[in-house]
Amino acid sequence: MVVAEMIYRVLGKTGLKVSVVGYGASPLGAEFGTIDPAEGKRAVDTAIAAGINYFDVAPYYGRTLAETRLGEFLEGKRKSVVLATKCARYDVKGFDFSQKRILASIDESLKRLRTDWVEVFQVHDVEYGTNKQVLEEAIPACQKVVKAGKARFVGITGYPVHNLKRLAEQAEIDTILTYCRYNLLDTAAEEVLVPLAKERKLGLINASPLHMRALTNTGVPEWHPAPGRVVEAAAKAAAHCKARGVDIADLAMQFVLANEAFATTLVGMSKVRHVESNVKVVGTKADPKLLAEIQEIVKPVMNVCWREGLPENDDPNAVDKRS
């Protein structure tokens, strides 16, 4: 394997030094189809050997399976990684932002993860809760978890960026994770979240740089929420890259990694070849001509986003899923 030198950035005021490519553990829970657990373990080992130190998981992924597997695969390696998990989301429509559930949730996660603490404890997909409950119950519960020594920092995660911003303005948190909002198809997180993150020294975590597979040669799965015109533009962009001898996933990674405002970018990687591909681009630059051509192709659908969560938390320009 070609091992590029890993680059590390500071995750805001947490002071944690995290690898620019982070390990997304959702596929370990067979979240997107069955996987070979032995291959998943090899992917985790390969990631650590390549210098990836940020690992993101949640009880929701595979309805606890991803945490269980990650806990097993990190056995004996816990101290060499920065571990982040979540609370409040337990199923597709199963949310519980109550204090009681969150205080129990951390203990269940720690048991599955075979550890006594996580570095980052996040309220998962905050747009599915009322801001009132997230601010008055969920975040204070996470702060209690920190006081109890079971987590070091508190974060929020979600899709609508304006809602994340509103919450971050009002709450004492350390990190914000957003997905599909900073990549070749959508840069809303840069406009909406980066200025606040800089001002408050919040760590920014960028998930789904491949726009949940839209920016790959495989294309999107059936459940993908993006409107048809976004999927079509992404497929056109992938074909254009292919014709130029470039894998669009490489270009997509180069594009996001170049932005230093995001400490780490999370990619789902249950396969060794995905780890290798995503690590090999670290420290390389996108071909500016090809990048400009791709940006021209996707221009008509840039920043098209979909409704996610409670209607009151939608971004102002959100459209129906798969519309």
Which residue among 30, 274, 301, 313 contacts ligand NAD (CB under 6 A)?
274
Q: Min. distance of Cβ 299 from ligand NAD in angstroms?
A: 21
Which residue among 54, 90, 97, 179 contacts ligand NAD (CB under 6 A)?
179
Q: How many residues at the interface with ligand NAD, by CB under 6 A?
A: 28
By CB atoms closer than 10 A (0-12, 13-18, 19+), residue 316 is exposed
61 catalytic residue (yes or no): yes
Give residue 39's identity as a one-letter amino acid code.
E
Which residue among 208, 254, 264, 313 contacts ligand NAD (CB under 6 A)?
208
8-27 in b/e form (b: 16+ CB < 10 A) is ebebbebebebbbbbbbbbb
3-state SS assignment for residue 281 = coil
Question: Pairing between strand 8-10 and 17-19?
Answer: antiparallel
Contact 69, 28 (CB under 8 A): yes
What pairs with residue 284 in β-bridges? Answer: none
Q: Which stretch binds ligand NAD (CB under 6 A): 11-19, 201-209, 284-292, 298-306?
A: 201-209
Pick 115 or 206: Cβ nearer ligand NAD? 206
User: How far is it, in rounded angstroms, from Cα 202 to Cα 174?
Assistant: 5
Q: Min. distance of Cβ 268 from ligand NAD in angstroms?
A: 2
Residues 33-92 that bind ligand NAD (CB under 6 A): 56
Q: Min. distance of Cβ 189 from ligand NAD in angstroms?
A: 12
CB atoms closer than 10 angstroms to residue 220: 18
- Active-site option among 23, 54, 61, 182: 61
User: Treating both helix axes as pointing N-terminal to C-terminal, what angle do 37-49 and 272-280 enclose, rounded to 10 degrees?
Assistant: 20
Please provide residue 29's backbone torsions phi and psi, each rounded to the nearest 5 degrees.
-90, 20
Which residue among 211, 237, 282, 313 contacts ligand NAD (CB under 6 A)?
211
Give residue 250's identity as a one-letter amino acid code.
D
Which residue among 220, 249, 294, 304 contacts ligand NAD (CB under 6 A)?
249
Residues 85-144 that bind ligand NAD (CB under 6 A): 124-125
Give residue 228's identity as a one-letter amino acid code.
G
List residues near ligand NAD by CB under 6 A.
24-27, 32, 56, 124-125, 157-158, 177, 179, 207-213, 216, 249, 266-269, 274, 277-278
Catalytic residues: 61
